[in-house]
Amino acid sequence: MPFAHLAADVRDLAVGLYQRGWKPKDISALLGPSERSIGRWTKPADYVPTRKMSPRGKRVQVTCPECGRQHYMYPSAAKRGRRFCSRTCASMHPSKHKRGPAHHRYARVVSVCLECGKEFEHIPSKRRMFCSHECASTWSGRIRRGNGAQKGPRNPNWKGGATEPVRRLRASREYAEWRRTVFGRDGYRCARCGAKDQYLHAHHVVPVSEHPDLALVVSNGTTLCAACHQYMHPELHLSLAPRKGQ
């Protein structure tokens, strides 16, 4: 290496001046190397580095509540409540020790399952009606089979039977089944004009307002197209187009 002997001579000269009582600042100004290099050259062989304390005060010893390791931190940080030695311990500790009732935001309300009658807990922001997915699927299965599980007081939207009887009848499953039976009996044709490719209505021969007991009797029904049904009821404004879902 070129000029390696010169670098060695400068180092030996700097060490010699330091041993004679010269300060690293004066040696650096005389010979050129930095004070850091001079400090590294003059460092004793048995030198053990010590942790530099903050000028604001000594650090305090704290035990990490997650891993149990002893570590040091500033007194101001310890006063603010800092206890963990690392972010890893700080993120793992709440997941282990602050779950369920131990969490500061834990809150639960008690409800009764509509299917099995069992009491269960859930968070207040969720409107839960079933204790499990099994009860919910059993309840919805009975609704699809049409055994009246969602009718009357058992329906969450029940308001004491405020709906008109005729409107409640036309929205029932029994009425939809009566309507399909009447259409099938007449071959899906209008009994008055014979039209087939038209929107069909199920007409009551005897009005429901006169005999409500005959509302679901198949012999009291006949198939009419929208125009013929309007002709039979000129005082009403019937829909000439199919409604949604029909």
Mean pLDDT score, 80-88: 86
What CA–CA distance (Å, rounded) separates 75 from 90? 18
Q: Residues 204, 215: contact at Cβ < 8 Å?
A: yes
Res. 49: pLDDT tops 70: no
Task: Return the percentage of the chain with pLDDT > 70, whole number.
Answer: 80
Res. 180: pLDDT tops 90: yes
216 band by pLDDT with thresholds 50, 70 and 90: very high
Note the pLDDT of residue 69.
85
Mean pLDDT score, 204-212: 87
145 band by pLDDT with thresholds 50, 70 and 90: low
Residue ranges of E strands in 50-108: 60-63, 70-73
1 band by pLDDT with thresholds 50, 70 and 90: very low
Residue 172 identity: S
Q: Residues 15, 21: contact at Cβ < 8 Å?
A: no
CA distances from 94 to 84, 100, 106, 178, 239 (A): 12, 11, 13, 61, 63
Q: Residues 192, 224: contact at Cβ < 8 Å?
A: yes
Note the pLDDT of residue 124.
85
Residue 187 identity: G
Which residues, at least 6 apart from 182, have a Cβ–Cβ distance to it below 8 Å? 202, 218, 221, 222, 223
Mean pLDDT score, 121-130: 85
220 band by pLDDT with thresholds 50, 70 and 90: very high
Note the pLDDT of residue 3.
38
Q: Which of 50-59, 67-76, 196-205 has the lowest mean pLDDT?
A: 50-59
Residue among 199, 163, 202 nearest 180 (CA)? 202
Highest mean pLDDT among 83-92, 132-141, 167-176, 212-221: 212-221
Mean pLDDT score, 102-109: 78
Res. 39: pLDDT tops 90: no
